[in-house]
Structure 1
């Protein structure tokens, strides 16, 4: 069950459809990504009024990010390739590669590991791990000092 929920969740995230995204997360869900990651930095450069953060708390914040903010940077050819996945009880893990075209025209490709916690048949927490230096190189051409 939870393994299929992960697949449905990533399809929903890629759709940018707020209703589909909302349907897979608990009301008090959290999404934690690495501090200083290129996505958050780039989105703040695109629009300094955005309230983007590496630690989204609540279904509304997660939905807003994936439906409104994320597509401002990842503008085309978004693809997620699963390499390994496992879900057992209240936890799951996915290794994947994300590719896309960025708003500045750069090609993005990076490997990720997502750790999930489930509650009541929904996603309660996601911890995202990735190579932040590689993300910065692909997004900006350099790594911050």
Structure 2
């Protein structure tokens, strides 16, 4: 795939993420894909390395914590070869009424029109504080 096609797939992924569409998010990923989030898993349960299958319940749990969508504002993206790097900002309202705003740097690796790897760098302590 071209860099533009790869970036388009990532934009599609982020659009599904915004809507909390777990099935559609996972459809953009290869069966052998992994998703890593920075942080200590014993302090932030979303942290660590997970397979695509392990991400389904994680994403379902995440989206139940919000009233409505988790808006993802794409600040920039850079693509080269099989990789796309994204800088984004999220905004949402939790079910307890708190405002959740976080910054992200995400590195995506792609193969044959599917995401094979997500590496997500974010502020896990903000997430713990707001989603508690």
TM-score normalised per structure 1: 0.75
Change (3 A) 1:18 1:112: closer
- Counterpart residue number, 1:119: 111
Q: How many residues align?
A: 127
Residue 50 of structure 2 is aligned to residue 56 of structure 1: yes
- Counterpart residue number, 2:35: 31
> Over the residues paired in the alignment, what is the CA RMSD in angstroms?
2.2
Give the C-alpha shift of residue 74 in structure 1.
2.5
Q: Which runs of 5+ in 2 are unaligned?
A: none
- Counterpart residue number, 1:49: none
- Counterpart residue number, 1:21: 25
Distance 1:127 1:77 in 2: 22
- Counterpart residue number, 2:82: 90
Give the C-alpha shift of residue 40 in structure 1.
4.5
CA displacement 1:50-79 (0-9 Å, x = unmatched): xx663221x22223332x211121233420
Distance 1:136 1:18 in 2: 21
SS at match of 1:138: helix
SS at match of 2:97: coil
Distance 2:39 2:127 in 1: 12
SS at match of 1:104: coil
